[in-house]
A = this chain, B = another copy of it.
Amino acid sequence: MTDKDKPRFAIIGAGLGGALMANYLGKNGYHVDVYEMRPDPRKGEIVAGRSINLALSVRGMHGLSQVGLLDEVMKEAVAMPGRMMHAVSGELTYQPYGQKGQANYSVSRGGLNVILINAAEKLENVRVHFNHKCVDLDLDAPEAVFEERQSGETRRTQADIIIGADGTFSAVRRRMMRVDRFSHSMDYLDHGYKELCIPAADGGGFRIEKNALHIWPRRSFMMIALPNFDGSFTVTCFWPHDGPHGFSNLKTEQDVLAYFQKHFPDSISLMPTLARDFFENPTSSLATVRCRPWSYQGKVTLLGDAAHAVVPFYGQGMNASFEDCTELHECLQEFCPDWVKALDVYYDRRKENADAIADLALQNFIEMRDKVGDPAFLRKKKREKRLHRLFPNWFIPPYEMVSFTRIPYAETVRRASAQENALRNITAGIIAGTLLLLVILTWVLA
């Protein structure tokens, strides 16, 4: 296939997933136009309302490495090989995530996005258009209609394939919701989140342990902090919107300080602008999005949060998006020029994995806010690690499968359950064997 015959792509959204996809396609000689609603992030303030940093793990790193961008990204990444739990008393407990050398990496969302956009724009067949808000879509053409935000003008663009990488509130998905038999759900948590900040120390260092994801687990709610390359930490409160520990109860700076004094006393001295930040920064919602099918007649497909927004508690949202890009790219290569099949198989292969990570992320909220403070849970984690060292191929702790391997998410769930069953059976066998031995011994010695 010559480049002239290759389909032209329009990607809606130049966030992390859309920008990585543009790199994949551009490097393979496809013509790509990327349309982003927001202004160019390189020309001003990064738009607020999204997380400032996020966790990059093996799946995401693989995606970046495929387009040759991993090294550049890792230059400013901060390794988080484990969790540091903060008790109300201030006592610290450290728990490694995996084996020696394994870590999640805290990276800046804005910085990573700029790296991806710069790289995409360097490719001669990729163009990125900012300030273009997608306001309508003709799925059959397919054609996208944009409002150019500065001039207010309307622009229409035809493409052979349109990729909706426009996030949780995707305009592309909203248009697909009008198609018969497009199932979809958006499910909000009762918890929301608010970001705060621990600035770098005066000398420029980190005020708390640099190489860890910090957690203040308080059973029904929690606070976390991820390190930034500049020595600061981005703190996120995950609390209920309403009720006894809810955001809505805190109306004055005194309320806020009293709340932190009660639940997170060791954090107060770390955040000099706590009370002000609390009221200046928004309280945002957390939702899980599911839909099916992601693809429309080989013409339109969804990617990343637009197809499967997940809650952030497994740190896998971006990693799952990047896996979508890898898979979509592979399907386009594998089934070229049957684009209907390429998009359908991409959806088929990714759907159960997207559903699995959505469930895992919901479950991990319970683990992070509640169980990580529990000694029995920490013992279980240690036992898992011991088993993995003894039988590295047979037993892999579920967390490690998700974060440190590329085993498909749905497969990690099946393997985790099979491992658990095998362990239970072995334990039962050992107990039965021991009892039998005792009976025989008693009989022999009697």
Residues on A lying within 8 angstroms of B by beta carbon are 177, 180-188, 241, 285, 287
Residues of B within 8 A of A241 (CB): 181
User: Contact: A185 with B188, CB < 8 Å?
Assistant: no
15 extra A-B contacts, CB within 8 A, seeds A180-B285, A181-B241: A177-B186, A180-B188, A181-B188, A181-B285, A182-B188, A183-B185, A183-B186, A183-B187, A183-B188, A183-B287, A184-B185, A184-B186, A185-B185, A185-B186, A185-B187
Residues of B within 8 A of A186 (CB): 177, 183-185
Residues of B within 8 A of A187 (CB): 183, 185
Residues of B within 8 A of A285 (CB): 180-181
Q: How far is the CB of A69 from chain B (nearest CB, A)?
A: 35
Residue of B nearest to A190 (CB): B181
Complex CA gap A184/B186 in Å reads 5
Complex CA gap A177/B187 in Å reads 11
Residues of B within 8 A of A185 (CB): 183-187
Complex CA gap A78/B177 in Å reads 38
Q: How far is the CB of A172 from chain B (nearest CB, A)?
A: 16
- State the oligomeric state as a number of copies: 2
Q: How far is the CB of A186 from chain B (nearest CB, A)?
A: 6
Residues of B within 8 A of A180 (CB): 188, 285
Complex CA gap A177/B177 in Å reads 12
Q: How far is the CB of A238 from chain B (nearest CB, A)?
A: 15
Could you name 17 residue pairs across A and B whose Cβ atoms are closer than 8 Å?
Answer: A177-B186, A180-B188, A180-B285, A181-B188, A181-B241, A181-B285, A182-B188, A183-B185, A183-B186, A183-B187, A183-B188, A183-B287, A184-B185, A184-B186, A185-B185, A185-B186, A185-B187
Closest 7 A-B residue pairs measured CB to CB?
A: A185-B185, A181-B188, A183-B187, A183-B188, A181-B285, A180-B285, A184-B186
Complex CA gap A187/B183 in Å reads 5
Residues of B within 8 A of A287 (CB): 183
Residues of B within 8 A of A181 (CB): 188, 241, 285
Q: How far is the CB of A441 from chain B (nearest CB, A)?
A: 34
Q: How far is the CB of A187 from chain B (nearest CB, A)?
A: 5
Complex CA gap A241/B185 in Å reads 22
Q: How far is the CB of A13 from chain B (nearest CB, A)?
A: 19
Residue of B nearest to A290 (CB): B185
Residue of B nearest to A192 (CB): B181
Complex CA gap A220/B67 in Å reads 47
Complex CA gap A180/B287 in Å reads 10
Complex CA gap A287/B241 in Å reads 31
Complex CA gap A4/B400 in Å reads 67
Residue of B nearest to A184 (CB): B186
Residue of B nearest to A286 (CB): B181
Complex CA gap A187/B290 in Å reads 10
Complex CA gap A185/B288 in Å reads 11
Residue of B nearest to A185 (CB): B185
Complex CA gap A182/B187 in Å reads 8
Complex CA gap A116/B57 in Å reads 61
Q: How far is the CB of A295 from chain B (nearest CB, A)?
A: 16
Q: How far is the CB of A291 from chain B (nearest CB, A)?
A: 9
Complex CA gap A287/B179 in Å reads 13
Q: Which of A180, A182, A241 has the most CB of B within 10 A?
A: A180
Q: How far is the CB of A348 from chain B (nearest CB, A)?
A: 15
Residues of B within 8 A of A182 (CB): 188
Residues of B within 8 A of A184 (CB): 185-186
Residue of B nearest to A177 (CB): B186
Complex CA gap A285/B179 in Å reads 11
Complex CA gap A185/B241 in Å reads 22
Complex CA gap A186/B285 in Å reads 21
Residue of B nearest to A284 (CB): B180
Residues of B within 8 A of A183 (CB): 185-188, 287
Residues of B within 8 A of A177 (CB): 186
